[in-house]
Structure 1
Amino acid sequence: MLDADLTDADRALRDRVRAFGQNTIEPIINDYWERAEFPHEVIPGLRDLGIIGTFIKGYDCPGFSRQAAGIVAREMGRIDGSVNTFLGVHSNLCMGSIYMLGNEEQRQRWLPPMARLEKTGAFALTEPTHGSDSVSLETSARLEGDTWVLNGHKRWIGNGHEADVIVLYARDEADGQVKAFIVERQASGEYPAGYRPEPIVGKIGKRAILQADIVIEDLRIPTENRLENCESFAGVNRVLQATRGGASWEAVGHGMAAFEMAAKYALQREQFGAPIASYQLVQEKLATMLSDLTSMQLMCTRMAELQERDELTAPMASLIKMTTSRKALAMCREARDMMAGNGLLLENHVSRHLTDMEVVSTYEGTDSMQALIVGRDITGISAFTRKQSAR
């Protein structure tokens, strides 16, 4: 009964996003997923939902509470992880970077058209050799007159091959600190010379949102495109702290979908002359799934409360992400197993949720990394790096 405590506005938001997902996204998403293409036809509907920019206040954004922003991620995850990733990258990471790290002119310049989805965004932090240790990023930036010259390599950048506005993080050669830059797609549709993105192919999950491998070679960025309030990696952490939790809410959505599909299938599928829902083994599985789902919902609701009070810590967020990812992935696997061979068919959706949860368990910090953050908080000992043996 957690949703019974929602405000009328939040319930209306939930119902609006859920209906759009069920009526517009779900009927088409399997075809796009199988072809590994993004469903651009849903963009106008996403714009009209009034959800773009989530927690950002002003600039044509809705200024949602943390609970409302979580509901958006939950309901989108309940339908499809690829569209939810598009929204998370565009609304939270890219727009959030501009909102928190840009000056007022930069916010006015980029945020309103992005809120109207006239321009789409990307967030370029991860590199081929720096994922969990993104603080060690190697992409460089050098100031030459009134232009920054960037060189490096980014990978796994959602929408990085076709976004209009890309927030790209690089290390200033002068002071060794991380700075944030805006790469803009030109009116011709081309990117500036030196920005060479290629979509990564062959993924098994979140196939309807493409990630890019980006080679950056002597990319020239005007000084007005450096986000003024990012002077070190602390700026990146500000954005990640503000957007932390989205993956956990999405995991709840995938878990909800898995439980609902499994329960419905168990009542419809007959074996040995009776619905499989009548067997003790199946009922025990469903009871365990519901227990796990409820605990995930409780954790995310509490997370939103703490975020509103600015009391959520990194270890708390890691504990929630680790728990929700593990439980939702287990639920998707259980639902797929319960549906046996039918669970392998895209038309039954659960296999898409299963492979999407493999992705959720990886991005925004793998389960292993989250466990190490929690472990450090418990013991006071950092186990992030292997200790060198004494000679």
Structure 2
Amino acid sequence: MLEHEEPDERNQDNTPKESRGDPPLALPLDEMLESYKDLEDILFEWSGINKGGYGYVIGSSKSGKTIFCECLGMAIASGQTQFLKKPLAKKEESPEKVLFVSCEEFPSARIKRNEKQAAYFDKLAGSAEWRKNYHVVTEAFPRFIHSSANWKTLVKLLLEQKPDIVFIDSLTRLTNGQIEDSKTANALMMKLRELSYLAKCTLVVIHHTPKQMGKPLTIDSVAGSRVLIQEADFCLGINRTSSGTRYVKEIVFRYKQEEVDKVTLFAINDTLIIEAQGEKAEWEVLGENDGRSDPSNLMAVYKSICEKPEGKTTKELMDEFVKTGIIGRSTLYPYLKQLTEEMKIIKEDKTYKKLDLFGDQNNVEEGDSLDEPTEE
């Protein structure tokens, strides 16, 4: 019945659904657990990229997204056990097959880069045999996937190639609409989800973001974020600071807890290979690379707060230090956190005051926030 109708008892089958063979719509938890007791644990390609899942690698222009994905794909195809010093999925038999769908560059533009990268992985794998596991599209493949015919070409390619993991560069080449429009984004997400399911592959889509300008990578960094993230199983972010420091951040995962305290630093060497450079807190990386950051400014912030017995609000400090260009927003917040942890200042509501250990404020009360301050 498409609309609500009164049931006709004369034609109604009163046989229990279980007797008719119809599956139950709900079960007690213990029965459900028993039904799925032989289900295997979710496996991950790398980080929070789950096998058979669908999601994104995001980042601004020239941050290193494409090279990052190429190196990750080659590491998988060549049977490596780790990437950026983090484990890759264990290979039960032969290494997985990778397909890289580049709509951004013609083969002639990327082939020399891939040649250098492949030579590096030849040494790691002990031979060039692994290259048969890494496939790339030719000039015959469309650079825009807008029409039904283009989509059929993409589907046909995946069904013929039967890859284990697919990288598509980039999301904006898959629609001629505005990705910020919820209807456009939702329709595209459904297509990509279905593509991953139909081809039985892990689907990683590269997506461009605006320049971060010293801001941390968050879900809000993604254009069309509400719809995109709603359907995604994973989202990794690539950032490049004003001084050239690059890092990858775990933004959101559906099936794994993100590393919220650290980002993984990396560099791109002369052979266009990704090299791990350690881990740091994101705010530290952004603070270090803020050209206006100077250790002496920490004391300047402290002195400014001490000047007013009633303290200063976040807005006042922003106006005094950030809007005047003395320090960056990403530097002010860590300064306030550091001063609070060192028990030099205390936060009351939205105001920061000097902490007098011998006066009325002789203790930092439980519940005082050390999080980034919010603007008034």
Q: Does TM, normalized by the shorter one, top 0.5?
A: no
Return the structure number with greater helix share. 1
Q: Please identify the structure whose Cα radius of gyration is greater.
A: 2
TM-score (norm 2): 0.22
